[in-house]
A and B are shown apart, each in its own frame.
Chain A
Amino acid sequence: MRRRHRPCRPRLGLAGLVLAALALASRARADAVPVPVALQADLLFAVAAQDRNLPARAAGKVRTLILTRKTDESIRAALRFRSAAVGKALVGGLPHVVEVSAFASAAELAEAVKTKRVAIVYLTPGFTEEDAAEIARALEGGSVLTVSAAPALVGKGAVLGFDLVSGRAKLVVDLTRATRQQVAFSPDVLGLMAVHP
């Protein structure tokens, strides 16, 4: 006959752990970067080159603005993305420059996009759905590609986002938002993306 051990009592401890961790948990996981940042950079600049309005928007030089919030993950993602992005000397055959800026307000962002002729805005993790919606309203009618490191902001204000499904990166696009921000991809390119919703 097998010797029976006294049952352990993990449930109470686990429940306590879950509650404690929930109380402490940040929003980081919802905003987590699912796709490696270097691959995001490769994908972003490959897909941006397929935007038919990029040459007109860039006016000779593609400017990418990496936008940060005051979170560890945002700063980390921004620096990693910049490290990968500066290696892309040409985007769509045009010279490419990269800037990092802390997000202050959507109005200031819209002004910067307009005056500096920013072609691509990269939203690092840390932006909320409310931030994305505010940014989208401010950029409405302009010509700029807004890209989110996480897919959750596509449909909330970002034109493009990155997702990881089955161990492979996916591009998620909001076609309505793309039209409103004068981003135009060919059907071949759209065929490679997941269209939101």
Chain B
Amino acid sequence: MTTSRRARAALLAAVLLGPAVALAGGGEAGVADLAGLLNEPVVSTASKTAETAGLAPAMASVVSAEDLRRHGIDSLAQAIDFLALGMLTEPSWATPEIGARGVLLSGDYGNHVLLLVDGHAMNEPWDGTAYYDLSAAIPLDLVDHIEVILGPGSVLYGSSAMLGVINVITRRAKDYAGVHALAEGAVPVGGHAAIGYGGESTWLGRPVELTAALDYAGTRGPRQGYGVQTYDGQPWGGVARHRALDVPSAYLRLLAGDLEVSARAALSRRAATQIWGSFDDPRNWERDRWLSLDVRYGVSLSPSLQANLHLYGDLYDYLAHEPSAAGADCLDGQASCVILNSGVSRWGGAELSGTWDWLTDGRFVTLIGADLRYREVRSWTDYDDPTAGTSTRVMPYDQGGFTLGAYLQQTLRPAGWLSLNAGVRLDRDPQLGSHVSPRLAAVASTWTGGTVKAIYSEAFRAPTFYERYYADPLTWLAAPGLRPETVRSVEGVVEQRVGADRFRLGAFRTWWSDLVLTVPATQADIDAGIAGGALDPGATLGAVFTYANASHVNSYGLNADWDGSGLGQRLHYGAGVTLARSRRTGGDASRLAAAAQVFGNARVSYDLGGRLPVAALAARVVGPRPLSGTGFTDAPDAKTQVELRAALSGPLGGGVSWRLAGDWALTRGSAYAVGPLRAPEPGYDAQAVLPLPRWQALAGIRIDR
């Protein structure tokens, strides 16, 4: 390199990095470096081992409890949208949908992302359901941090970890000591109240700690206008509350020595007035209930060998209560009906794992484990006829069985600058066969403060019981022969720490195969369904659908983010952006509905110190994306959405503090069609779109004693 080139490179580096160094500065580079080390996130989800995010075999970001508090965040969806990298949620008909790096599979109920709470899987087996708004039913006040791991993660976690893994880690008692209470109110109408406790003690000479929280969150939403549509002679539309939601939840975590017990009970009841059936009928709702128990015990057998036992059990049920005045929605002979769609799942299992540190210095470590799980799913749909007082149950199913997952991960650090991670997991399901999910990762600390990662990984999602067995004599054929969806991914990440600032740039390429899609049933399928009694004799081509492994998607793009702190850790800032190109392969190479190809966020907060407040601003931008749920081929894309959040919080003294927060959205329209009409008809030539609330303001007070 010539002298002039070096000078230009130095000048460019100074221009690009100078402001960051100055912000982080505080004077000495050593202090800034120390601040940078303290800003380095520590994650435990990517390899089931605590490690810095820079060394983890995945691109990971961490949302801290401080971030949540500073920015007035009150749901996982907001945390992901405003504070994390690479993932986003889309406000949908009922609860938000989640996507990552340009891929969002609309209608999946969150089953392409594995959601964990303290390592306990939330996705249930009936439909893989996991929610990200208030319906996630996780007491946010108890959250210590949220780890967002991008990319396939089946190597350690099995099914559903296709887009990534989100692990919500709750607080330890030392960080939640005492009694905590909060009450918040929002306009348009919403409310949140919580009470929690954290304490440490000893029992039988052993250290014991307990954290627990009870939480209620509810909304009634703004009044929104919906264009009137006519469906089967019945009017649909008008002005209605956007959505109503009631979510009580409770979480408890007990640690005693090396034993950890956690339990969760929660319920989410949502009005579904704008989703199905009769418009704005208060009897139109859906409900989820959860009960979970998780027990972990770890024992050290030698300096080199540790063993862990993990026992878990869950109960979940779902009920959709859908009255419809349209006879077309009901069974033959019913002029109107109430449709009750129920799903119940129970699962439990034991996971035994061991860690063998061959050299006892962390340079050559083997993790091996096996997870034996039993799951049972029941589902049915009742058509109640309120006029006749009768109820007809259709297509019930009751399925269950064991699954086994066995995994092996080897980490190797042959030199201080090089870390290698290789793993493989075998999942065996008697109904679906076997699936192997490998991962290879190399992380090199190539220069001061810099790391380079290369990762190859695969993941899968077993088709849910709902996808395989849901059926309806009027409209739907079961698809018991579905195969697992798979994804392969390669990615590279460059990370550079400069003082207290961290810059990351990642490039990824993914190949998705056998994606489960809704497709029209063929005439042969319909004939067979009628002959076998699965369909009513009147079922016709075009009106009957089924699930099929019918789609493949290729995706590539870039992730980049920057975060840091300065001014004595009082200033925090960050920004992230994702650029992707995702297309279905074959046929028309169509775009994915509701999947933004460009999105990002930025945030800044400043602690004024003492009894003065913390001020925080955050913004989120989501680029244009095709409408989901429409049959209009010429429907325009959903407009670019910009959302802004502002929050102020501060102490009042005596353990009392306050919070004010507000958010505002630039665009009123969502990326989802709404109403019963989804295709052109006489007098209906443009797709109606689900409207979104434009703003909300929140005020709250909390007491920590």
Contact = CB atoms under 8 A, between A and B. Distances in A.
A72 B569 contact: no
A17 interface: yes
Nearest to B69: A166
B361 A10 contact: no
Interface stretch (A108-116, A173-181, A185-193): A185-193
A192 B31 contact: yes
Interface in A40-83: 42-43, 46-47, 49-50, 71-73, 75-76, 79-80, 82-83
Contacts, number: 160
B60 to A, nearest CB: 10
Nearest to A164: B42
B258 interface: yes
A36 B31 contact: no
Nearest to B344: A2
A37 interface: yes
A186 to B, nearest CB: 8
Contacts of A167: 41-43, 62, 64, 144-145, 147, 169
Interface string A8-52: 001000100110011111111110001111110011001101100
Given A10-B293, A167-B64, A169-B37, A25 B52 contact: no
A101 B541 CA distance: 80
Contacts of B64: 166-168
Given A26-B258, A29-B255, A192-B34, A168 B40 contact: yes
Contact of B30 (A49, A76, A80): A49
Interface string B416-450: 10000000000000000000000000000000000
Interface in A72-122: 72-73, 75-76, 79-80, 82-83, 87
Contacts of A156: none
Nearest to B500: A192
A104 to B, nearest CB: 19
A23 B144 contact: no
B28, B66, B206, B208: residue with the most chain A Cβ atoms closer than 10 Å:
B206
A22 B300 contact: no
Contacts of B416: 87
Contact of A72 (B43, B204, B303): B303
A171 interface: yes
A14 B292 CA distance: 13
A50 B299 CA distance: 38
A43 B34 contact: yes
A71, A79, A82: residue with the most chain B Cβ atoms closer than 10 Å:
A79
A103 to B, nearest CB: 16
A167 B55 CA distance: 14
Given A22-B204, A167-B145, A39 B40 contact: yes
A119 to B, nearest CB: 17
Nearest to A189: B31
B119 to A, nearest CB: 14
Contacts of B255: 29
Contacts of A50: 28, 30-31, 34
A46 B36 CA distance: 11
A35 B258 contact: no
Interface residues of B, number: 65
A1 to B, nearest CB: 9
Given A36-B50, A50-B30, A167-B145, A25 B361 contact: no
A171 B38 contact: yes
Contact of A76 (B43, B297, B357): B357
B52 A39 contact: yes
A168 B259 contact: no
A36, A42, A71, A151: residue with the most chain B Cβ atoms closer than 10 Å:
A36
A94 to B, nearest CB: 14
Given A167-B169, A168-B41, A192-B35, A21 B147 contact: no
Contacts of A35: 42, 50
Contacts of B362: 37-38, 79-80, 83
A120 to B, nearest CB: 16
Nearest to A80: B362
Contacts of A188: 26-28, 31, 568
B33 interface: yes
B300 A28 contact: yes
Contact of B313 (A10, A18, A191): A10
Given A23-B204, A26-B258, A36 B52 contact: yes
Contacts of A2: 342, 344
Contacts of A192: 31, 34-35, 38, 568-569
A30 B208 CA distance: 9
B71 to A, nearest CB: 13
Interface string B130-150: 000000000000001101000
B34 A47 contact: yes
Interface string B173-208: 011000000000000000000000000000110111
Interface in A140-154: 151
A26 B39 CA distance: 32
A79 B41 contact: no
B30 A22 contact: no
A14 B52 CA distance: 35
A168 B36 CA distance: 11
B302 A72 contact: yes
B30, B39, B51, B67: residue with the most chain A Cβ atoms closer than 10 Å:
B30
B394 interface: no
Given A25-B257, A46-B37, A167-B41, A79 B293 contact: no
B256 A22 contact: yes
B116 interface: no
Given A18-B256, A167-B43, A79 B37 contact: no
A2 to B, nearest CB: 7
A24 B300 CA distance: 12
Nearest to B144: A166
Nearest to B145: A167
B223 to A, nearest CB: 35
A43 B37 contact: yes
Contacts of B361: 79-80, 82-83
B590 interface: no
Contacts of B55: 38
Interface string B561-600: 0000000110000000000000000000000000000000
B52 A22 contact: no
Contacts of A82: 361
A166 B144 CA distance: 5
Contact of B203 (A22, A38, A73, A168): A22
B51 A36 contact: yes
A42 to B, nearest CB: 5
Contact of B295 (A17, A80, A166): A17
Nearest to A165: B175
B608 to A, nearest CB: 15
A169 B40 contact: yes
Nearest to B305: A72
Nearest to B362: A80
Given A22-B204, A167-B43, A168-B38, A29 B257 contact: yes
Given A21-B259, A75-B303, A169-B40, 12 more contacts: A10-B293, A23-B204, A25-B256, A26-B258, A27-B206, A34-B50, A36-B51, A46-B34, A47-B34, A76-B360, A166-B144, A191-B569
Nearest 10 A/B pairs, CB to CB: A25-B257, A166-B64, A167-B145, A21-B259, A30-B207, A83-B361, A167-B62, A72-B300, A75-B303, A80-B362
14 contacts: A18-B259, A21-B297, A22-B203, A23-B204, A27-B207, A29-B257, A50-B34, A76-B360, A79-B360, A167-B145, A168-B38, A168-B40, A169-B37, A169-B38
